[in-house]
Amino acid sequence: MSQRLDRRTLLSSSVAVGAGAALAGVGLAPAFAATPGKNAVVLGGGMAGLTAAHELIERGFSVTVFEPTAWGGKARSIPFAGTGSGGRADLPGEHGFRFFPGFYHHVPETMRRIPFGSGTVGDNLVAATGGKFLRGGDHADAFVFGIGPDPVSLLTVDGLRRYLLDNLGGHAVPPHELVYFVERLLVFLTSCDERRLGQWEKVSWWDFVGAAKRSGPYQKILAAGLTRNLVAAKETIASTRTIGNMGEAFVYNIMGRGNDGALDRVLDLPTNEAWIDPWVTYLRGLGVRFVGGQRLVRYEVAAGRIVAAVLADANGATSRVEADWFVSAMPVERVLPTLTPDVLALDPGLKGLAKLQTDWMVGIQFFLRDHADLTKGHITFIDSPWSLTALTQGQFWEDRTISRDYGDGEVVDVLSVDISNWDAPGILYGKPAKQCSRQEIADEVLAQIRDHHTMGDLLPEGIIHSWFLDPGVQWDAGTLRNINETPLLVNTVDSWKSRPTARTKIPNLLMSGDFVQTDIDLATMEGANESARHAVNAILDESRSTAAQVKTFRLYDPPEFKLLKQTDKLLYKLGQRNLLDVI
| pLDDT tens per residue, range 297-310 | 999 999 999 999 99
CA gap 564, 575 in Å, rounded: 16
The set of residues, in sequence order, having a beta carbon less than 8 Å from that of 460 and lying 6+ positions away, is: none
In this structure, what are the phi and psi dihedrals at residue 551, rounded to the nearest 5 degrees? -75, 135
Secondary structure element (H or E) that encloses residue 556, with its range = none
In this prediction, residue 133 has a pLDDT band, given cuts at 50, 70 and 90, of: confident
Same fold, 16-69+293-355+495-542 and 79-106+124-129+263-268+361-484: no
The percent of residues above 90 in pLDDT, for the chain, comes to 78
Handedness of CA 45, 50, 55, 61 (dihedral sign): positive
Residue from 299, 3, 117, 185 nearest 583 by CA: 185
pLDDT of residue 30: 36
CATH architecture of 79-106+124-129+263-268+361-484: 2-Layer Sandwich (3.30)
Task: Give the mean model confidence (pLDDT) for residues 102-110.
Answer: 97
pLDDT of residue 21: 39
pLDDT of residue 168: 83
- Given a cut of 90, whether residue 60 has pLDDT beyond it is yes
- What is the pTM assigned to this prediction? 0.92
User: Which residues face 387 on adjacent strands?
Assistant: none
pLDDT of residue 378: 92
pLDDT of residue 533: 98
- Given a cut of 50, whether residue 32 has pLDDT beyond it is no
Tens digit of pLDDT for each residue in 377-413? 999 998 999 999 999 999 999 888 999 999 999 999 9
Residue from 246, 222, 223 nearest 167 by CA: 222
Burial label for 286, CB within 10 Å (0-12, 13-18, 19+), is exposed
Please give the order of strands across the beta sheet that includes 289-292: 289-292, 62-67, 39-43, 325-328, 509-511
pLDDT of residue 144: 53
CA gap 454, 57 in Å, rounded: 51
pLDDT of residue 147: 45
CA gap 569, 578 in Å, rounded: 9
Provide the residue ranges of all domains of the chain, joining segments of one domain with +: 16-69+293-355+495-542, 79-106+124-129+263-268+361-484, 147-261+557-573
CATH of 16-69+293-355+495-542, one of 3.50.50.60, 3.20.10.10, 3.40.50.1100, 3.30.1480.10: 3.50.50.60
- Given a cut of 80, whether residue 450 has pLDDT beyond it is yes
In this structure, what are the phi and psi dihedrals at residue 56, rounded to the nearest 5 degrees? -70, -45
- Of 4-18, 325-339, 479-493, the poorest mean pLDDT is in 4-18
In this prediction, residue 154 has a pLDDT band, given cuts at 50, 70 and 90, of: low
CA gap 219, 424 in Å, rounded: 15
CA gap 526, 160 in Å, rounded: 27
User: Contact at 8 Å (CB) between 321 and 308?
Assistant: yes
